[in-house]
A and B are shown apart, each in its own frame.
Chain A
Amino acid sequence: MIKNISNLGDAALYCDFGSEVNKSINSQVIKYFKTIKEKKFEGINNLTPSYNKLIISYDLKKTNFKEVKNYVENIDAEDSLNINSKKLEIPVCCHENFSMDMKRLEEILKLSRKRILENFLNKEYFCYMTGFIAGMPFLGDLDENMRAQRLETPRVKVPKGSVALTEQFANIYTFESPGGWNILGNTPLEVFDSSKEDKPNLISPGDTVIFKEITLDQYKNYNEQ
């Protein structure tokens, strides 16, 4: 449930679902997100679900804080449409050509390359949210012994397709972008495709993702099959 609603500036509602990050709070956020998106309240023009917050943006020419707050407080998100989530396998190549931060991770986590991959691959991760750059999924939770901080100095360019870790989360860089996460491998999959307007994101909040290792040869041939 929403614990508190406040304003973020004069054109958005800030809905706080709590301070922890877990699946049950995030599922509440997603439920509200899907319900509001479905109902299309006049004036609401954007929604940003995250781990434990939902930001609802509105057009100040059409509505205001009081109206949107009143609306949100009175919607019934409990019996909303089922979440309709899917399970996806993501191929990832962890060849040294791609795993730029493997050495760093080995040192920080005090684990061998083999153990790091064993801990990371073939496990189910939950998609909490997508964003920052178009289509980037925030996946969790990593095992306790796999949690590393961001790089002290972020990279100016992280290659497209990079699979990276930070704290309890994994993500996939859908574009070349600046970034400070620890890069473990690379996926040949198109995780964001802007030509598919109705479904540009391969991974959506609520989905489950499993990383499956592929070899460098499989990686190279992936898009030619």
Chain B
Amino acid sequence: MSNNYLDIIRPGINTTFQDKGRDYLYHIGIPFSGAMDNRNYLIANKLVNNNLESAVIEFAYQGPHIKYSGEKINCAITGDVIFSIKKKGTEIEGNCYESYQIENGDEINIISTNKSVYGYLALGGELDLKFQWNSCSINTKANIGSNNGKKLDVGQRIGLKKINSNKDIKKTNYINTKIENIRVIKGTNFDYFSEEGKKIFYEKEFKVSKLSDRMGMRLEGLKIDNIVNTNIKSEGLIKGVIQVPADGNPIIMLSDHGTIGGYPKIGVVASVDYDRLVQMSPGSKIKFKEINLSDAEILFKLYEMETQNLLSQI
């Protein structure tokens, strides 16, 4: 173990290491994984002068309480997160989108995410993590990635292989915008549903269920009636696919999803809205709005330009 390390005093409930994820493995049953909210992941790394694809600590709802030991290092938290930093007995309330310098004995206490789900903690350096298929992202279902594919646990010690020499303090004024509607593209089984069911899908609100995690988001609302078949021959899934099983309640596939499924696909969330979708916490109301493929492509391009622009200003 190196001389610079983190001790996990409290792990939080869904704390994992994540990076850009791993590709080209759907055919063997392994999804992309990676940071759920990609934009906030990139900003966190930029704020601490990291390579943008470095590993960060992702948490959901309650975050970890960490004690740092070693030479000075920068850290930053992104998302909508309530946290404090304890330095030599004094505790200060932390601000997201601002880097802080911490030193030997300092503590970061991430209380919770606020009206959102995921937050990111980046450290200015390189965590000492195992890579599998070019990614350290933890997939707890298949136990793949760093930390033996398991969530962080109390009492764990995580080393840093390297600390960035650039210790410039950075700040940005990014605000996580909420959107009213999640835009979707018609799914390949859209016509399996009744006229009434299609109307419900686009016009009524759905509530995000508590049974949501990195694999999928379950929704509750009026039943979407299927008039053809409630099963299809199993076929591939991608993140953002909205399946409707026999009970009529939609399930949206998220980054750790099962790679094959046999429920009809009513729609697919447009890539432009994925980062904001995953931040909708249980109890939130979702309304879907149909868009066509070319609009989805243009909107994603604009979103991507905005992300690059944000990063270049940090």
Contacts and interface: CB of A to CB of B under 8 A. Distances in A.
B269 A50 contact: no
Interface in B25-43: 25-30, 32
Interface in A137-182: 138, 174-175, 177
Interface in A26-59: 33, 37, 45-55, 57
Contacts of A133: 29, 141-142, 258
A12 B240 CA distance: 11
B27 A47 contact: yes
Given A57-B238, A131-B260, A46 B271 contact: no
Contact of A49 (B27, B149, B258, B300): B27
Contact of B235 (A10, A33, A51): A51
A136 B234 CA distance: 13
Contacts of A194: 132, 142-144, 149
A181 to B, nearest CB: 12
Interface stretch (A1-9, A83-91, A113-121): A1-9
A9 B260 contact: no
Given A60-B271, A129-B260, A132-B260, A53 B235 contact: yes
A185 interface: no
B29 A132 contact: yes
Contacts of B25: 46
B219 interface: no
Interface stretch (A70-78, A101-109, A197-205, A210-218): A197-205
Interface size class of chain A, counting residues whose CB lies under 8 Å from the partner chain? 35 or more
Nearest to B240: A9
Nearest to A45: B23
Contact of A130 (B29, B141, B235): B29
B141 A10 contact: no
For A19, A48, A49, A192, the residue with the greatest tally of chain B CB atoms inside 10 Å of its CB is: A48
Given A9-B185, A60-B271, A46 B233 contact: no
Contacts of B133: 197
Interface of B: 23-30, 32, 132-133, 141-144, 149, 185, 187-188, 233-238, 240-241, 258-261, 265, 268-271, 293, 296-297, 300, 304
Given A46-B238, A51-B233, 13 more contacts: A8-B187, A8-B238, A37-B27, A46-B23, A48-B26, A48-B27, A52-B235, A53-B233, A55-B26, A57-B238, A129-B27, A134-B142, A138-B260
